[in-house]
């Protein structure tokens, strides 16, 4: 009887540990970022060049350069405009229809451009 209880205890422990492992696995999966395709991003950036320049270097002092910017920051700032967290009317209008894949592609494109053309 005692050894049966011991076995049951061990089985329970294994189940609990496995469940913890699985939930960590899920959390990791949820945070996985979408892979950006720079080539696709170049095509999608056609609308951006009017303000951010042909190679990601802006022609106006109040429009930011994007060339060579950190990829994660580009993803975050584009999503912030799209989702209304960061507000600036011009940018928000251009960002509102972008999918997460579009954002990843645009970020991959701009991060790969030289900040010093």
**Length reported for the chain:** 117
- Three-state DSSP class for 29? helix
By CB under 6 A, name the one of 10, 23, 90, 114 that touches ligand HEC. 90
Are 86 and 77 contacting, i.e. CB atoms less than 8 angstroms apart? yes
* Binding segment (CB under 6 A) for ligand HEC, from list 8-16, 24-32, 88-96: 88-96
As a whole number of angstroms, the distance between CA 108 and CA 55 comes to 13
Interaction of residue 91 with ligand HEC, rule CB under 6 A = yes
Rounded CA separation 86/90 (Å): 12
* 75 scored as a contact of ligand HEC (CB under 6 A): no
Interface contacts to ligand HEC, rule CB under 6 A: 45, 47-48, 50-52, 63-64, 66, 74, 77-78, 88, 90-91, 94, 106
């Amino acid at each position: 009887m005692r050894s049966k209880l011991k076995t049951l205890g061990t089985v329970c422990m294994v189940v609990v540990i496995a469940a913890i492992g699985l939930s960590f696995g899920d959390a990791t999966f949820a945070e996985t970022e979408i892979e950006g395709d720079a080539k696709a991003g170049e095509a999608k950036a056609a609308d951006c060049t009017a303000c951010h320049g042909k190679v990601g270097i802006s022609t106006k002092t109040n429009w930011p350069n994007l060339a060579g910017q950190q990829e994660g920051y580009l993803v975050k700032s584009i999503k912030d405009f799209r989702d209304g967290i960061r507000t600036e009317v011009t940018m928000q209008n251009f960002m509102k229809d972008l999918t997460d894949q579009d954002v990843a592609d645009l970020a991959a494109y701009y991060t790969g451009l030289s900040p010093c053309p």
